[in-house]
Each structure stands twice: as structure tokens, then as C-alpha cells.
């Protein structure tokens, strides 16, 4: 935005006040992820929580000018939901704990998908999208029914 505004002196003279939004730190990024989990009734096991906190802290510490901030957390969360759905769909008789429990392996796979080079990420997204059409809605209905019990 700064580059755009300074590209035209007439435009630059019209803006004399700016809002600066600092990046969320690793702890804040984890809190955003945790809020999404709570809203959707997912629970991370202890290993998943430890892994994700460490990963988000590292991500924050090594960020560059293209750091996605909250968007990154949303993308990782959406990947976790997909990976979790794939895992639970393979179970013959999932328990309530299976339906709400997110494992370290779920988070690791989700992070791998997010961090993959762009062409691989696109291929993974297509695979996830096709599986979502097949499993996501039936799994979501099963989770909702289980949560009402």
C-alpha cells in the first residue's frame, strides 16, 4: 500500500495519517486457531497443541513481508478440518472423541499441505475438495448428531 500511495505525489499528499496493524505474534495466532476450534467444537490433544504452538511461534519469528497472519491460521485450520475428516471417515465406528479430537498427526499433515510448494498445494487442495464433497457433509451431520446426544 505504501508503494502504491507513494507512486503518485498527488495521491500521497492526500494521505497524512495511517493505521498500522502489527502482525499477530505466535501466541495470538494460536489463540485465533483455538477460537476456531472452540467455535466448531474441535479439541486438540496435548501433543497437537504443543506442536501447533511451536510451529506458529516459529512461523511468526521467521515471517517476511508476505506473512499471511490470521489468514494463515484460517488456512491451516481449514486443512486440519479436512485431514481430520479424512481420518475419521476411515473409522468404522467413530466415537465422540474421534469426532471432536484433533491429533498431532492431523496438524502436521495440515501444516504440510499449507507449507507445500504452490503446485503441490493446488493439487492437494483439489484432492481435499473432491473428498469434501464425498465425506464432509455426511461427517458434519454425524458430528452434529453425536454432539446433541
| Segment 64-100, tens digit of pLDDT | 877 778 899 999 999 999 999 999 999 999 999 999 9
In this structure, are residues 146 and 99 in contact, taking their beta carbons and an 8 Å threshold?
yes
Q: Helix, strand or coil for residue 8?
A: coil
With vertex at residue 64, the alpha carbon angle to CA 32 and CA 30, rounded to the nearest 5 degrees, is 15
What pTM was estimated for this model as a whole?
A: 0.71
| Segment 35-72, tens digit of pLDDT | 999 999 999 999 999 999 999 999 899 888 777 788 99
- Domain annotation for the chain: domains and CATH numbers: 24-148 (1.10.8.60)
What does the alpha-carbon distance between residue 72 and residue 38 come to, in Å, rounded to a whole number?
18
First-last CA distance in the chain: 51
Comparing C-alpha atoms, which of 69, 125, 76 is closest to residue 102?
Answer: 76
Where do we find the cell 458434519? 140
User: In sequence order, what are the beta bridge partners of 43?
Assistant: 101
For the chain, give the number of residues: 149
Amino acid at each position: 500500500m505504501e508503494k502504491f500511495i507513494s507512486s503518485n505525489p498527488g495521491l500521497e499528499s492526500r494521505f497524512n495519517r495511517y493505521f498500522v496493524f502489527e502482525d499477530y505474534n505466535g501466541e495470538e495466532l494460536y489463540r485465533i486457531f483455538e477460537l476456531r476450534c472452540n467455535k466448531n467444537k474441535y479439541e486438540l490433544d496435548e501433543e497437537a497443541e504443543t506442536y501447533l504452538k511451536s510451529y506458529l511461534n516459529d512461523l511468526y519469528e521467521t515471517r517476511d513481508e508476505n506473512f499471511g497472519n490470521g489468514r494463515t491460521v484460517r488456512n491451516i485450520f481449514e486443512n486440519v478440518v479436512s485431514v481430520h475428516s479424512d481420518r475419521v471417515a476411515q473409522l468404522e465406528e467413530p466415537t465422540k472423541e474421534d469426532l471432536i479430537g484433533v491429533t498431532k498427526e492431523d496438524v502436521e499433515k495440515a501444516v504440510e499441505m499449507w507449507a507445500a510448494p504452490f503446485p503441490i498445494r493446488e493439487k492437494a487442495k483439489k484432492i481435499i475438495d473432491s473428498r469434501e464433497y464425498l465425506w464432509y457433509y455426511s461427517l458434519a451431520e454425524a458430528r452434529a448428531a453425536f454432539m446433541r446426544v
